[in-house]
A and B are shown apart, each in its own frame.
Chain A
Amino acid sequence: MRTLLLAGTALLTLAGTVVPAAAQVSDNVIRIGVLNDRSGIYADLAGEGSAIAARMAAEEFGNKVAGAPVEIVVADHQNKADIAASKAREWVDTGGVDVIADVPNSAAALAVQGITKDKKRIFLMSGPGATALSGAQCSPYGFHWTYDNYAMAAGTGRALYEQGKKKWFFVTADYAFGQSLEEETTRMVKSLGGTVSGSVRHPLGTPDFSSFLLQAQGSGADVIGLANAGGDTVNAVKQAAEFGITQSGQSLAGLLMFISDVHALGLQSAQGLMLTTGFYWDMDDQTRQWSKKFEAKAGKKPTMVQAGVYSAVKHYLKAVEAAKTDDADKVAAKMRELPVEDMFAKTGRIAANGRMFHDMYLAQVKTPAESKGAWDYYKIVKTIPADTAFMDPKQSGCPLVK
């Protein structure tokens, strides 16, 4: 009896693979894996908020594309490249995941990029900043969506230089992302004629920045560039105020800051900071409307990473719908062909290296007096057009660009 049952199950499984219900979509489901930090220092800027954003995109398609249901799965990579890699491998090999989204933490993203490239799965990067992801390590299936370190350097780095802050010192998170951000900003500052008087590297997730700030203070630089993110930036900015760094005439540059960081710091500590962002909830009616929906689900306004996940997932689903298949080659071609148009990117396009070109914004954090209430944090100083915001694909070093 038992053998009969087993044989029956085996037959049924076989039948299932031989005659799928919707022929074009593998295993008849579009499965989107949102892989990010859900418990560590990047959990507020990505985390569950990114999963909510992905679900919002799927809902706009009625959770169904090309006749197949859309399913969102989530996992925590704990900011560790090895965990990210094994989760991505598991998802692709046995989980039936068609596309991986978000992956803040560049080290983790670089690991996932390798796997999705080998195994032909679409990779939608909203969280990571390392330029290598659309440069030397680019992939025909990898799409670098929301921002990158070049854009941060071109935005904040240039703006501060133009204010006369010509001598820089870096406080850098010691891993792929921080090093890349320092490198890009150094290149930008030097190309404009500025100098870099030194840098100090700190381990990821450092609670106490006093030693590093003291070195920065002693360097005599005009600007202390914080090449880190999330909780690290927050602690560094807070402690810089304690050591009287801004009062003594030095400026602080949060080279990558998210609205969740500003919210955590409070305007008292964050006021006046210049930052570059790909998204701000209070830009126009579309962004306000979407952000309001997001806030109803998440209890807070979206960061640019979360808005970027929404935009990337939506564009992916649009491409699947248009291509009528989830075959990675065909979908990737469709994604490059279709313009990116949503509340995040009004006139976006995807370049050969996988970089999504869209306008970026230079913002300044409001003073407590200027702010009308919770989340009213940014003054948009200027729009940085897509072409100057991001690196020319020809210079990116991506082998896909001819």
Chain B
Amino acid sequence: MVSLLGIPPQVLFGQLLLGLINGSFYALLSLGLAVIFGMLNVINFAHGALYMVGAFVAWLLLTYAGVGYWGALIVAPLVVGLLGILLEKSMLSRLYKLDHLYGLLLTFGLALILEGAFRHQYGVSGQPYPIPDALKGGQNLGFMFLPNYRAWVVVASLTICFGTWFAIERTKLGAYLRAATENPTLVQAFGINVPVMVSLTYGFGVALAGLAGVLAAPIYQVSPLMGTNLIIIVFAVVVIGGMGSILGAIVTGLGLGLLEGLTKVFYPEASNIVVFVVMAIVLLIKPAGLFGRER
């Protein structure tokens, strides 16, 4: 059999595809973080916890209200988004005049509270969430068995990523938003309600996290720990991509997913540190990140 660096090609292709799938998760989560940082200058440490809440809302809807996956895909991000707006209005909005660090500390505390509450209520082993019937099974691609659900996750994430990028970089609303973050006083003078816009942006950013949570629920156990597992990697992705850069978050998310996949083939033990090695190198060479602007 032909092999590439001692690895059979089908294994390699399989891992690359899986890397792409994980990468699309990273992209979706870091997109939300990048939107929030880019527009609000808040380092949202509660992002992982809100992702977990998204998954739990889906599970609660299924268990107690009989609302299935497709319904949850719409309802859960709305619930998480509303929760986000509530948090922003009641707490975060008081911190904008202070240093970044205060926002980080507040959201970190919120993350701990949310996780602690869910852990207390539901334990750590997590709850099972079934794959929706329409997406059960998979395709035999020759080099690997691709579950339909994972393919759907890639398509859904990429669509949402592109849509968000388009809305912020190419539409009038996005232009207002970008202007409001550059010079809020001036934009307010044009009659645009900046505080409402900021709340909605935070709500939208965390709704993306909630959506990622619903997408993740059928793959992982719906567990209070799921956010903690992912958030550190996602932060690394955002830092590498350049804090606040939308395109950077998407491209880096996918790229690092692929890199992680490759590491799992060649040296699996290092798979959970490779992202941080890359982060260290990027920060040394380009402190603002790959797509970031120096501020």
A239 at the binding interface (Cβ < 8 Å): yes
Question: Which A residues between 35 and 76 are near B, CB-CB below 8 angstroms?
Answer: 39-41, 43-45, 47
CB-based contact B126/A264 at 8 Å: yes
CB-based contact B221/A242 at 8 Å: no
B264 at the binding interface (Cβ < 8 Å): yes
A278: min CB distance to chain B, Å: 19
Bound together, the chains give a CA A174 to CA B130 distance in angstroms of 29
Pick the contact of B124 from A41, A201, A211 — CB < 8 Å? A41
Question: Which B residues between 248 and 288 are near A, CB-CB below 8 angstroms?
Answer: 261, 264-265, 268-269, 271-272
Count residues of chain B with CB under 8 A from any CB of chain A. 40
With A39-B124, A211-B265, A264-B125 as given contacts, are A242 and B219 in contact (CB-CB < 8 Å)? yes
B-binding segment of A150-158, A212-220, A374-382 = A212-220
B-binding segment of A230-238, A317-325, A346-354, A383-391 = A230-238
Bound together, the chains give a CA A47 to CA B120 distance in angstroms of 12
A393 at the binding interface (Cβ < 8 Å): no
A202 at the binding interface (Cβ < 8 Å): yes
Question: Which B residues between 202 and 250 are near A, CB-CB below 8 angstroms?
Answer: 219-221, 223, 225-226, 229-230
B15: min CB distance to chain A, Å: 6
CB-based contact A269/B128 at 8 Å: yes
Fill in one digit per residue for A12-49: 1 if any B CB lies within 8 Å of its CB, else 0: 00000000000000000000000000011101110100
Count residues of chain A with CB under 8 A from any CB of chain B. 41
B218 nearest in chain A by CB position:
A242
State the total of A-B contacts with C-beta under 8 angstroms.
111
Q: In the complex, which residues of chain A have a beta carbon less than 8 angstroms from the beta carbon of B131?
A: 242
B171 at the binding interface (Cβ < 8 Å): no
B149 at the binding interface (Cβ < 8 Å): yes
CB-based contact A40/B124 at 8 Å: yes
A263 at the binding interface (Cβ < 8 Å): yes
B80 at the binding interface (Cβ < 8 Å): no
B21 at the binding interface (Cβ < 8 Å): yes
B166 at the binding interface (Cβ < 8 Å): no
Q: In the complex, which residues of chain A have a beta carbon less than 8 angstroms from the beta carbon of B10?
A: 218
A3: min CB distance to chain B, Å: 44
B200 at the binding interface (Cβ < 8 Å): no
Bound together, the chains give a CA A101 to CA B271 distance in angstroms of 34
Q: In the complex, which residues of chain B have a beta carbon less than 8 angstroms from the beta carbon of A203?
A: 269, 271-272
Bound together, the chains give a CA A235 to CA B268 distance in angstroms of 17
Could you write out 18 A-B pairs with CB less than 8 Å apart? A41-B124, A47-B124, A201-B269, A206-B272, A207-B220, A207-B230, A208-B22, A208-B219, A214-B15, A214-B18, A218-B8, A231-B223, A238-B128, A238-B219, A243-B138, A243-B145, A243-B147, A264-B123
- Knowing that A43-B123, A231-B221, A234-B126 are A-B contacts, what are 11 other residue pairs whose CB atoms are under 8 Å apart, sorted by A's residue number? A43-B119, A44-B124, A174-B268, A174-B269, A201-B268, A214-B18, A243-B138, A243-B147, A244-B145, A261-B125, A264-B126
By a beta-carbon cutoff of 8 Å, the part of chain A in contact with chain B is 39-41, 43-45, 47, 174, 200-203, 205-208, 210-212, 214-215, 217-218, 230-231, 234-235, 238-239, 242-244, 248, 260-261, 263-266, 268-269
